[in-house]
Copies of this chain bind each other. A is one copy, B any other.
Amino acid sequence: MYFSTTPAKLANVRSYNEYCAVAQALDVVGERWSLLIVRELLIRGPSRYTDLRSGLPGIATNLLAERLRELEQAGVVKRVEAPPPVATTLFDLTGRGRELEPVLNALGRWGGPLVQRPIGDNEFRSHWLALPLGLHLKDRRPHSRAQTIQVRSGEEPMIVEVNGGRINVRPGTADQPDLVLSGVASQVLGLMLHHLDVAEARKRGLKVEGDLGVLNRVQP
């Protein structure tokens, strides 16, 4: 007997078995949670297992491990060993994985209208703001000085930096933010995407403090 110790339990992904690019794409990223894992890695960059878990509320830990293995095998995700200070394994997208961004964008655009009103009992994570802001907004005054908006919504404060035509969203607390928004995510988004004006947003409980000018600078 000369068996490998690893059972032949690899590449055990269900397939549609179709000669069609859409179906074969779904063979790779169509299973439950897969595209949301890609979303997390797109927003956060290299991430620890635990951070992925916290960005995917409700995922079972065995499923996260399994999906990561499958995505790794498919060449979408890679493991990188972090240098000594942290000394843990990080998960990151491969180049091929990053090419899924247009898929996520298309889904995000299509899902936008669904997310308008009812926040209900939905889970929310601050860093998710990066997707709609990056997708729907541009800096319309690329030659003005950099400005920052401090957003306090969800578990973790976020900095929205508007500079040189780009919008950058990252966790953190700004020293001298031009504008501070505090409140639930739907109203932060409503205001920034100009579905709500300042008066309306305030009436609904959003705290808006500072220079409102930066809001006109970010436009669809």
* A residues with CB within 8 A of B: 16-28, 30, 32, 35-36, 39, 57-58, 99-100, 102-112, 114-115, 119, 121-124, 128, 131-132, 185-186
Give every chain B residue within 8 A of A103 (Cβ-Cβ): 103, 106-107, 110
Q: Which residue of B lies closest to A186 (CB)?
A: B19
CB of B123 within 8 A of CB of A25, answer: no
CB of A19 within 8 A of CB of B185, answer: yes
CB of A21 within 8 A of CB of B131, answer: yes
Q: Which residue of B lies closest to A42 (CB)?
A: B22
Pick the contact of A25: B30, B32, B110, B122 (CB < 8 A).
B110
Give every chain B residue within 8 A of A121 (Cβ-Cβ): 17
Give every chain B residue within 8 A of A123 (Cβ-Cβ): 17-19
List 4 extra interface pairs beyond A21-B114, A26-B111, A103-B107, CB under 8 A.
Answer: A19-B124, A25-B110, A26-B36, A105-B106
Q: Which 3 pairs from chain A and chain B are nearest by CB?
A: A25-B111, A21-B111, A19-B122
Q: A17 to B124, alpha carbons, bound, how many Å?
A: 9
Q: Nearest chain B CB to A46's CB is how many angstroms away? A: 20
* Most chain B CB neighbours (cut-off 10 Å) among A35, A58, A115: A115
Q: Which residue of B lies closest to A32 (CB)?
A: B30
With A28-B114, A99-B110 as contacts: A132 and B36 at CB distance below 8 Å: no
* Most chain B CB neighbours (cut-off 10 Å) among A57, A108, A132: A108
* Most chain B CB neighbours (cut-off 10 Å) among A22, A23, A123: A22
Give every chain B residue within 8 A of A111 (Cβ-Cβ): 20-26, 28
Q: Nearest chain B CB to A91's CB is how many angstroms away? A: 18
Q: Which residue of B lies closest to A57 (CB)?
A: B18
With A35-B30, A106-B102 as contacts: A114 and B24 at CB distance below 8 Å: yes
Give every chain B residue within 8 A of A99 (Cβ-Cβ): 110
CB of B22 within 8 A of CB of A124, answer: no
Give every chain B residue within 8 A of A19 (Cβ-Cβ): 115, 119, 122-124, 128, 185-186
